[in-house]
Amino acid sequence: MDMKTSSGKKLGLKEKYRHMTRGLDWETSYQKREDVHPLVEYEGIKIHDWDKWEDPFRLTMDAYWKYQSEKERKLYAIIEAYAQNNGHLNVTDARYLNAIKLFLTGISPLEYMAHRGFAMAGRAFPGAGPRVACLMQSLDELRHAQTQIHSLSNYNKYYNGFHDPAHMLQRVWYLSVPRSFFDDAVTAGPFEFMVAIGFSFEYVLTNLLFVPFVSGAAYNGDMGTMTFGFSAQSDEARHMTLGLEIIKFILEQDPDNIPIVQRWIDKWTWRGYRVLTLVGMMMDYMLPKRIMSWKEAWEVYFEQNGGALFKDLARYGIRPPKWLDQISFDKDHISHQAWATFYQYGAIADFHTWSPTEDELDWLSAKYPNSFDKYYRPRLKFWREQAEQGNRFYNKTLPQLCQTCQIPMVFTEPGDPTKICYREVDYQGEKFHFCSDGCKEIFENEPEKYKQSWLPAHQIYQGNCFPEGTDPTAEGFDPVSKVLEYYNIGFGQDNLDFEGSQDQKNFAKWRGMATSNE
Amino acid sequence: MSVAAIKEYTFDSADRLENFHGMQVLYVGWEDHLMFCAPFALLFPPETPFQAVIDGALPGAYSYHPDFAKIDWSQVEWFKSGEPWQPKFDQSLTANGLGHKAVVRFRTPGLTGIEGSCS
């Protein structure tokens, strides 16, 4: 028999939320508080009253399940229809699929890491309000990883390079960039994690990640990607609110928190910006139908929106992140520098690269009048001419990498795009190298952390990137083929130029069958 | 300042010399030739003569570039960690003061890449 409650009335949403985030919390009595929440003080952040935390969404668990399951039903109905109708043949061009490979290998595993990170941060906080908010975001991130993998698995039936993103994240050279970014965040303390991912990434930079991919999908006929993007959008709005709330909460709690938070904002804006180089390249080179240039996206989503945000944060004693002058100068350059990198190391990547068409070069000239014709067009034209003569450029020598962001040292001096930017530090008798003042300063603040960086080029040289049982001293040992085997990249399938690839041939053949009588 | 941590936090560097099985890393960059997107990381025994780096490794790394064949090696300007520097060509990396993870850059006067674009 049900127990009769005193009033017989159900609680309203607001009351439920209040109970969940205030009333159900308790003071520990069997264990000391600092033993239950051992990670909450060592970063130096001081919190005096956790109840000052305000979550504008005030979402309860039952409401959360209801909203999410509705979205889930719609998403899977559309994905199913897309798959049934051979939607993959409606994308603008098979080159587009390489942008989605980049997303699946470089971004989706980070959603999973975000799930873990928010779960850990939630566990670490003594306050029930932020704990609940972290729990929900943790679930969202897990859902995003799942829906992305489900949506994109449809492409894996037809095209190369989609087959093993989780394995590749741990091994493939360029994926050490997004991987180390997130590993850095989840191995920091809970407050730094929240400023790194909750604020700097989700609030300041997320539009630069999701808008290009989701709009890119819409522009290029990719209903699957577009749908998971929209399905995630309402979650993103909540995440942005959480990111802003956490930073205001920390800053209001104690003036001693301000310099710590400022250093994290400087660090994580720079770290995030470096990872977004991949997005810039995707926007400028990999979408057959372009949305806007990287430079335009940066101006809208960072310079305008971010500018307003930091004006708002000034009253808390926070100034805009460091190195913005350099970032502003570099917006004319980084996407071209990144594409050149993937083009030449195209033999060891899991997606295809290609020579842009003449039309595409003209588009880039128009979007980048200060830089493209002067510095980048001659290079791309030379490469295209060489490729047409059967001499396509594949760089076979390993590059020097930045110790902090782990990107090859491709970036140029602030103000001089003809000079590679070299920075170095001697620490405990060893030299460490950096692509920028930002990455160098991040290292100098925590050298013990970054001297452990797993730099792919060095790991190959140390013999750690071959399949188990490989004997590098054996006759005829071919390091490149062994490294590709270790990466699970199929030579001639997943890598090399798009021109002549299986993806190109299959797409043309299947689209021909779908649209003509041949 | 080092790392904020809940207990003592010290680790070995992942790229310390002893992890390279008797070899050392030397980084080499060619100024004004950014067609090679980044400086190269090369692996040598420390007793390698500097001339052997030029003869043994640079052609494989750089000869795709039409400027490489035009280099007058007697005119090349060298830099170590960014500072002008004169290598002793017949002497080893060690005797040249090039330790593990040293950076050498070279500039080839008159050669400035594809159509002068520093590519």
Helix (H), strand (E), coil (C) string for A211-227:
HHHHHHHHHCCCHHHHH
Chain A residues whose beta carbon lies within 8 Å of the beta carbon of residue B40: 397-400
pLDDT digits (tens, 9 = 90+) for A434-473: 999 999 999 999 999 999 999 999 999 999 999 999 988 8
CB contact under 8 A, A431 and B115: no
Q: What amino acid occupies position A67?
A: Y
Distance from CA of B21 to the nearest CA of A (A): 7
ipTM over 0.90: yes
Task: State the CATH number of the domain containing residue A154.
Answer: 1.10.620.20
High-pLDDT (> 90) share of chain A, %: 80
Closest C-alpha to A471, from A460, A485, A482:
A482
For residue B76, the distance in angstroms to the closest alpha carbon of chain A comes to 17
B114 interaction partners in chain A (CB closer than 8 Å): 378-379, 382
CB contacts of B113 in chain A (<8 Å) are 378-379
Residue A426 has pLDDT above 90, yes or no: yes
Chain A residues 41-70 within an 8 A CB cutoff of chain B: 42-44
Q: B3, B10, B15, B64: which to substitute to probe chain A, counting the most A Cβ within 10 Å?
A: B15
Q: Which has the higher per-residue pLDDT, A18 or A296?
A: A296
- Bridging pattern class, strands B77-80 and B24-30: unpaired
**Residues A335-353: tens digit of each pLDDT:** 999 999 999 999 999 999 9
The three-point CA angle A390-A396-A399 to 5° equals 135
- Whole-angstrom Cα distance, residue A154 to residue A143? 18
Kind of pairing between the strands at B102-107 and B24-30: parallel
Q: Which residue of B has its CA nearest to A431?
A: B101
Summarize the confidence of residues A202-206 as an average pLDDT. 86
Q: Which residues of B touch A377 (CB under 8 A)?
A: 117
Using CA atoms, how far apart are residues A493 and A503, in angstroms rounded to an integer?
A: 8
Domain-embedded: residue A19: no
| CA-closest candidate to residue A333, choices A277, A265, A271 | A277
Question: Tell me, what amino acid is at A474?
Answer: A
Contact A446 B13 (CB under 8 A): no
Across A111-229, where does the E strand assignment appear? none
Candidates B102, B34, B41, B61; CA nearest to A455 is: B41
Question: What is residue A85's predicted lDDT score, i.e. its pLDDT?
Answer: 92
Q: What is the pLDDT of residue A7?
A: 63
CA distance, residue B40 to nearest chain A CA (Å): 4
Residue A74 lies inside a defined structural domain of this protein? yes
Nearest by CB to B36, from A38, A375, A395: name it. Answer: A395
Q: pLDDT of A386-404, one tens digit each? A: 999 999 999 999 999 999 9
Least CB–CB distance from A453: residue in B10, B14, B113: B14
Take residue A84 and report the two structure tokens written for it: 């049934």
Is A5's pLDDT higher than 60? no
A chain contacts of residue B60, beta-carbon cutoff 8 Å: 396-397
Number of compact structural domains in chain A: 1
Q: Does A38 touch chain B (CB under 8 A)?
A: yes
Which of A448, A457, A462 is closest, CB to CB, to B2? A448
Interchain CB distance below 8 Å, A410 and B37: yes
Domain ranges of chain B: 17-116
* Cβ pair A407, A274 in contact under 8 A: yes
Shortest CA distance to A435 belongs to which of A450, B18, A280? A450
Output the pLDDT for position A237: 85
Model pLDDT for residues B21-65, shown as the tens digit of each residue: 999 999 999 999 999 999 999 999 999 999 999 999 999 999 999
Amino acid at A50: W
**DSSP string computed for A434-479:** ESSHHHHHHHHH-HHHHTT---HHHHHHTT-SS-TT--TTSTT--H
Q: What is the pLDDT of residues A108-157, one digit of tens each?
A: 999 999 999 999 999 999 998 899 899 999 999 999 999 999 999 999 99
pLDDT higher than 70, residue A1: no
Cβ distance of B20 and A461 shorter than 8 Å:
yes
Per-residue confidence (pLDDT) for residue A433, from 0 to 100: 98
**Mean pLDDT lowest among A7-21, A54-68, A413-427, B5-19:** A7-21
pLDDT at A211: 85
Six token digits for residue A483: 């490294």
Pick from A397, A426, A473 the residue to mutate for testing the B interface (most B CBs within 10 Å): A397
Q: Taking the model in full, what pTM does it have? A: 0.96
pLDDT tens profile A427-436:
999 999 999 9
Chain A residues in contact with B32 by the CB 8 A cut-off are 418
User: Closest by alpha carbon to A204, among A141, A118, A119, A266?
Assistant: A266
pLDDT in tens, A17-52: 888 888 778 888 999 988 999 999 999 999 999 989
- Which residues in chain B have their CB less than 8 angstroms from residue A417's CB? 118
Helix (H) or strand (E) holding A127, with range, is: none
Q: Can you name the residues that pair with B77 across neighbouring β-strands?
A: B107
Identify the residue among B37, B83, B117, B118 best suited for mutation to test binding to A, counting A beta carbons within 10 A and taking the highest: B37
Rg over alpha carbons for chain B, rounded to the nearest Å, is 17
- Residue A473 placed within a domain: no
Interchain proximity B19–A462, CB inside 8 Å: yes
CATH class of B17-116: alpha beta
- Which among A393, A433, A445 has the least Cβ separation from residue B64? A393
Q: Does A431 touch chain B (CB under 8 A)?
A: yes
Instruction: Quote the DSSP letter at residue A399.
Output: B
CB contact residues (below 8 A), chain A span 308-347, against chain B: 337, 340-341, 344-345
Question: Are the C-beta atoms of residues A483 and A465 closer than 8 Å to each other?
Answer: yes
A445 touches chain B (CB under 8 A): yes
- Residues of chain B positioned with their CB less than 8 A from the CB of A361: none
Say what angle helices A128-156 and A61-84 make with each other, to 10 degrees.
10
Distance (Å, whole) CA B119 – CA B115: 8
- Nearest CB among B20, B39, B101 relative to A462 is that of B20
What is the average pLDDT score of chain A? 94
Per CB-CB distance under 8 Å, the chain A contacts of B100 are: 430-431
- The answer to whether position A211 is within a domain reads yes
Asked whether the beta carbons of residue B35 and residue A379 sit closer than 8 angstroms, the reply is yes
Would you call A379 and B119 a contact, using CB atoms and an 8 Å cutoff?
Answer: yes
How close A233 comes to chain B (CA, Å)?
35
Distance CA A125, CA A36 (A): 10
Q: Which of B24, B26, B34 to mutate to test the interface with A (most CBs of A within 10 A)?
A: B34
Distance from CA of A78 to the nearest CA of B (A): 42
| Structural domain containing residue A140 | 51-468+478-515
CB contacts < 8 A, A to B, total: 146
Residue from the list A409, A418, A458 with its beta carbon closest to the beta carbon of B118: A418
Tell if the CB–CB gap between A449 and B99 is shorter than 8 Å: no
